[in-house]
Structure 1
């Protein structure tokens, strides 16, 4: 049974990424898998159920892969590696970000889960920045709540880079897309680095 559910999710993910969440029906997924409609809905009654399962799968992969990223003495290298890892995972589930508004409108529980994840992600960035200030990687705020606004910018970028890639880089490979948008993302941090870290950044990029 577990293998059947995994096969269904894998095919659903493939079709959602290619055609869009709203353009794929449960019957299409069943036909692609050469199984009956009733067999499929035994495992997942609706597309929302599949979206929930894929979102859980996405989060599990993000946690596991981020834990596997080896830390070094180079702050820029660590930031680059963790960002690239996160972007690669998200790209594999890109239908979520492309159809985010549509998916969350139809799925209130998933919207609540998404917003909770965003709170955790925002706190993670806040903790990284606060620790970075102490360690001399980030400069102190120039004005009150400057870093809160920066974290808001990070959220907007994180939610929209995949949609941008589908418009402006639709013919590019996954690697080229990831490299381009990771590079843009890392450069957002440069004005907030201390002079030493900016020098380190310029040597690497």
Structure 2
């Protein structure tokens, strides 16, 4: 059974998805979640803080997973594999959070936007550091600019929220495997590539995931 904070959060996600951030009042959230205003304000100072928590939930998860990968794995190749896998997984685990955030993030107050930017930058910099570590150790191609390569990974994975469907033809694990394979193909020297280009061409195309 969900606790009250989680109940308010999940109810808000449903309401924001249907009506938009400004189309939902605290009173509506309170009524739909079966609580009181006192119960709401015990856990959230405002709707703005609630929207911040929606984002913070999934960015904190993916950042902690990246930190764990950095600690538990010794090689940059293993680290980037684990980071990408958990990063892709977040679009399934927190799909409603991510959808609401991208639709409604423009309404966040500057103080909350600053906190979100800080966490996103920390995650981005961790990816940059793993790529740089791989280049310095000789595991990754040294000619690739770290910033461009890191942003390519971030952009590729972030776009999942636009097309991924839980009832689609491919599971989130299958998608994670393909994204990891693609990343290793452009990071690793050709002699260390995990599969041949011919094999890669036989991977099913899943963009129209219906």
Same fold (TM over 0.5): yes
CA shift, 1:89, in A, is: 3.1
CA shift, 1:193, in A, is: 1.0
State how far apart, in whole Å, the 1-side matches of 2:15 and 2:88 are: 18
State how far apart, in whole Å, the 2-side matches of 1:64 and 1:5 are: 22
> Which residue matches 2:195?
202
Summarize deviations over 1:101-141 as a string: whole Å, max 9, x none. 54331112232223222322232122111110122221111
State how far apart, in whole Å, the 1-side matches of 2:173 and 2:127 are: 20
> Which residue matches 1:8?
8
> Which residue matches 1:79?
80
For the structure 1 residues 17 and 76, does the alpha-carbon distance in structure 2 shift closer, same or farther, using more than 3 Å as the test?
farther
What stretches of structure 1 of length at least 5 have no aligned partner? none
Q: Structure 1 residues 94-103 or 123-132, which shifts more?
A: 94-103
Note the 1:93-172 alignment, pairs <5 A: 93-107=94-108, 108-141=110-143, 146-165=145-164, 169=165, 171-172=167-168
CA shift, 1:202, in A, is: 1.3
For the structure 1 residues 60 and 192, does the alpha-carbon distance in structure 2 shift closer, same or farther, using more than 3 Å as the test?
closer
RMSD: 3.5
Q: Where is the helix percentage greater, Structure 1 or Structure 2?
A: 1
Q: Is the 8 A contact 1:97 1:160 kept in 2?
A: no
TM-score (norm 1): 0.71
For the structure 1 residues 182 and 116, does the alpha-carbon distance in structure 2 shift closer, same or farther, using more than 3 Å as the test?
farther
State how far apart, in whole Å, the 2-side matches of 1:179 and 1:27 are: 41
Q: Structure 1 residues 112-121 or 69-78, which shifts more?
A: 69-78
For the structure 1 residues 25 and 180, does the alpha-carbon distance in structure 2 shift closer, same or farther, using more than 3 Å as the test?
farther
Summarize deviations over 1:69-127 as a string: whole Å, max 9, x none. 58456765543333222332343333454344543311122322232223222321221
The alignment covers a number of residue pairs equal to 193
> Which residue matches 2:171?
176
TM-score (norm 2): 0.69
For the structure 1 residues 24 and 172, does the alpha-carbon distance in structure 2 shift closer, same or farther, using more than 3 Å as the test?
farther
Q: Structure 1 residues 124-133 or 148-157, which shifts more?
A: 148-157
